[in-house]
Amino acid sequence: MAAQKKYGKSFGKLNSFKTGFFENNDGMLRMADKMADILSSQPKRTVCKICESPLSAPFLKSHGLNYIKCEKCGHLNSEFEDTDDFADRVYVQDDYSRNYSEAEKEQYMSRRDLIYIPKAEFLRDCLEKEGLSAEDMNVLDIGAGCGYFVSSLHELKIAASGIEVSENEVNYGNSVMGDESLLCVGLTDSIRHIRETSANIVSAIGVLEHLVHLKENLCAIRENESISYLYASVPMFSFSCAFEASHQDCYNRHMGGTHTHLFTDESIAYMAESIGFEVAYEWRFGSDINDLYRFIMVELARTENNAFASYFSERFTPLMDELQLVLDKSGFSSELHFILKRRKR
C-alpha cells in the first residue's frame, strides 16, 4: 500500500517559542558544542544505526563532526556512537535538573495548542481512515517530556499515557495536567514498557533519534502484537544540513546537539520492514526556511545591520510558508511525521 502523504504547515507563531534560537545564538551554540565534545569522546561508529551495514568515508562535516551516509539505506550517521554514557551525560545529568517557572507553566497550554494538538489531530484523522474511533485508540508515548502530546491526546478524548527519563519533566507535566499520566523511567526501561503495554499505538514524537538502544525498542514493538501502529516524528537529512554546514557560527539545532543521526525515506522504509510494519501515512513539514531565515538574521545582527535586518524580515517572513512548502514537496525537508502500520500476516 502506498503511503498517503500530506505536505506543509504554517509557521504561524512558532518563532514566539524559539526566541532563544535568535536572541541567544552564542549560548545555544556553546551548548551544542559541549554536546559535540561529549559525543566525540565516544567510540567511533562502524555500522549504520538503522541497517547495521558497514560505514565508509565521511560524506559531510559540520561544526567539527563528520557524518557518514549509509550506502545501503541512506541514513546519515555521525562518526561517533551515541552510547549509554552519552545519553546519561546529555539527558540525565545536564539540563534536566532545571526547575520550571510559573511563566513557563502559563505557556504550556499555548505551546500544546500550537504545536502538539495538530500532531494529535493528524494521528486521529489518519486512524479514523483505518476505521478506528477515538475510543478505539490507546497510546503509549515514549520520551513524553512534559506531556504536551499526551495532554493533546486527552483533549481529543484519546486514552494516553507517557514514559520519560526526566523526573522534573514528569513532575511538571503531571502537575499541569492534574493527573499521573506520565511515569519516570530509566534510560532503557522503555523496552520493557513497550513489550508489556496493552496500547495499540506507540508514539515517539522527536524521540527515535535519541534512543541509544533503538533496535531493541523496535524489536519490542515487533514482538508485542497488541501494537498495531507506530507514530513518530524524526529529523531528516535535508536542506537544513547544508544551511548549518555553511554557517558554522550559528546554532545547529538540526544536525548537532543530541541529533547524532538523521533519517531518510529509505532508512525509514528499512526500519518499518525490519519490524513487519509499513509506512501508511506521512506528513512532511520542515523548518529549513526558518533555519535559513534565523541564520541570516543572526549574521545581520552580528554585523550590526539592524535596520536592514528589519527591512529584510518584513519582506521575507510573508514568503516563508510558501517557500517551505516547495522544499517539503521536494521530499528533502527537515522533519517527517509518519505512521507505520503492522502488516497483516
pLDDT tens for 97-138 read 455 555 577 789 999 999 999 999 999 999 999 999 999 999
Say whether pLDDT at 338 is over 90.
Answer: yes
Cβ 59 vs Cβ 67: under 8 Å: yes
Measured distance CA(345)–CA(343) in Å, rounded: 6
**Phi, psi (degrees; rounded to nearest 5) at 111:** -65, -45
| For range 194-201, the mean pLDDT | 98
12 pLDDT tier (thresholds 50, 70, 90):
confident
Look over the chain and give the mean of its residue pLDDT values, rounded to a whole number.
Answer: 94
pLDDT value of position 17: 59
pLDDT value of position 97: 42
Cβ 89 vs Cβ 56: under 8 Å: no
Say whether pLDDT at 272 is over 50.
Answer: yes
Rg of the chain taking only CA atoms, in angstroms:
20
pLDDT value of position 100: 54
173 pLDDT tier (thresholds 50, 70, 90):
very high
What are the tens digits of pLDDT across the range 56-105? Answer: 999 999 999 999 999 999 999 999 999 999 998 888 766 444 555 555 77
Structural domain boundaries in the chain: 4-342
pTM over 0.85: yes
Measured distance CA(306)–CA(326) in Å, rounded: 29
Which CATH number does the domain 4-342 belong to among 3.10.450.50, 3.40.630.10, 3.40.50.150, 3.40.50.620?
A: 3.40.50.150
CA 266, chain centre distance (Å)? 18
Torsion angle (degrees, nearest 10) of CA 273, 74, 332, 32: 110
Paired with 335 in beta bridges are: 235
| For range 178-185, the mean pLDDT | 96
What are the tens digits of pLDDT across the range 157-172? Answer: 999 999 999 888 999 9
Say whether pLDDT at 47 is over 50.
Answer: yes
Measured distance CA(94)–CA(32) in Å, rounded: 12
